[in-house]
Amino acid sequence: MTVDRILFNFKTAYGNLKRKKFVSLSIILSLVLGLLFPVLVLAFGSAIIEFLNSSVIKDFDKVILVTIKNGSLSEADIKKIMIENTGIDTISRYNYFQATIILEGDYTRSNVVALDSNYRELSQMALCGGKWLDTDGLSSDFVCIIGKNFAKKYFAKNSLGNKINILGNQFEIIGVTDNINFLDSIIIPMNCLDKLHLKNHDLTYYIKFKDKYELEKQAVLLKDFISDKFKFTADIKLYKDKHKDDINREHAFTTVLFAITGVVLLYALLNIINIIFNKVNEDRKSYGIKLALGASQKDIFMQNFFELIILSLLSSIIVTLATLIVIYIINNYIFSFFSISINIYIICVFICIIFSLLISFLMLRKITKLSIMEIYR
């Protein structure tokens, strides 16, 4: 088939679709709805998996989580623990809370995370601008790092150097992070936590050992040591157990999501079959008229097949735009980590388009091989 013939078939097919606007729009709408939901569900599932995977700290199989329920360990207490247990590599404190902050005279609630500077070694936290909390030469202890989404939301231009009022204390922004766990948070140094005069805040201690052997035994000894020496009640859990629980929840959740996606995708494919079947049957009389006027079966087949190609392409373009718009809205107003893998999108769209074109090809081929009498029978 020559290029001129292909262009002629496309032009003729486009003209036919324009004359049947209502039918064409209904077919496009059905294809779009059938494609959009599976793509968004799979995008949500992949975002959850990405979030959980990025939340895992470095050498998690060597880490014990300790939460003190009725107090907190001072830096001197931490040094005592490390002296008593030479198997400990580092201890890093972590605390999450919500607080009222003031930005340029406006009050709002925000997530605030207080942590030791060595937490960065555990989480492998990257900065997309500025400095880390323990950088030499800082002008004050009251400094903070903000998440990338937080910076985008509250600061039109460069956020570095601006001040945030957290519970009556002015914190200078010295860095911005794109770590997925802190995109909407404010990170402050742990030594500033006491100065905020918070009540009933439980600290979590990430205790990393030099090796991963006999970690269960180390956890029991550590709990007894904290209880005897400091009279605190400690909730101790191996990080690898926490990670295992997260993975199990992830698998259960994503299995349900993928099952729902499979059912919806199957429904979409059946809907496509029904749409194509109805369209081909509705056009049977026009096929007979064209044959009577001297059109060849090949011309009739190609013009109608090109109609379905145009409908599939238009549906794919609309699904792409709709997916990007929905993800943009979700990222800005609901979640901050919602994204779509290009592979997932291509797989869903490819399955539906190839399937629709294959069904179209088979049905059109069967119809266009009939004689005029057989078409009108």
pLDDT digits (tens, 9 = 90+) for 30-73: 777 777 777 777 777 777 777 666 667 778 888 888 888 766 77
Same domain, 219 and 257: no
Q: What percent of the chain has pLDDT over 90?
A: 5
Q: Mean pLDDT: which of 70-79, 101-110, 292-301 is highest?
A: 101-110
- Say whether pLDDT at 82 is over 70: yes
Confirm whether 62 is domain-assigned.
no
If you average pLDDT over residues 155-176, what whole number do you get? 88
- Say whether pLDDT at 193 is over 70: yes
Same domain, 275 and 349: yes
Same domain, 200 and 264: no
Confirm whether 241 is domain-assigned.
no
pLDDT tens readout for residues 233-273: 788 888 888 878 877 877 787 788 778 777 877 777 777 77
pLDDT band at 96 (very low <50, low <70, confident <90, very high): confident
Q: What pLDDT does 28 receive?
A: 76
Same domain, 218 and 362: no
Same domain, 14 and 79: no
Same domain, 82 and 133: yes
If you average pLDDT over residues 187-197, what whole number do you get? 84
Confirm whether 63 is domain-assigned.
no
Q: What pLDDT does 188 receive?
A: 92
Query: What does residue 227 show for φ and ψ, rounded to 5 degrees?
Result: -70, -40
Confirm whether 59 is domain-assigned.
no
Confirm whether 167 is domain-assigned.
yes
Same domain, 365 and 219: no
Same domain, 140 and 187: yes
Confirm whether 239 is domain-assigned.
no
Which residue pairs, CB below 8 angstroms and at least 24 apart, start in 243-248? 243/56, 243/60, 246/52, 246/55, 247/52
Span of 10-19, 84-93, 220-229, 252-261 with lowest mean pLDDT: 10-19
Confirm whether 179 is domain-assigned.
yes
- Show which of 177, 205, 232 is a domain's final residue: 232
Domain count within the chain:
2
If you average pLDDT over residues 326-347, what whole number do you get? 64
Q: What pLDDT does 344 receive?
A: 64
- Show which of 186, 203, 232 is a domain's final residue: 232
Span of 77-81, 104-108, 362-366 with lowest mean pLDDT: 362-366
- Show which of 232, 258, 278 is a domain's final residue: 232
Q: What pLDDT does 367 receive?
A: 65
DSSP string computed for 157-190: S--TT-EEEETTEEEEEEEEE--GGGTTEEEEEG
The pTM is what?
Answer: 0.67
* Pairing of β 169-177 and β 88-103: unpaired
Confirm whether 237 is domain-assigned.
no
Same domain, 129 and 30: no
Same domain, 260 and 347: yes
Q: What percent of the chain has pLDDT over 70?
A: 77
Burial of 306 (0-12, 13-18, 19+ CB in 10 A): buried
- Domain range holding 155? 70-232
Same domain, 250 and 134: no
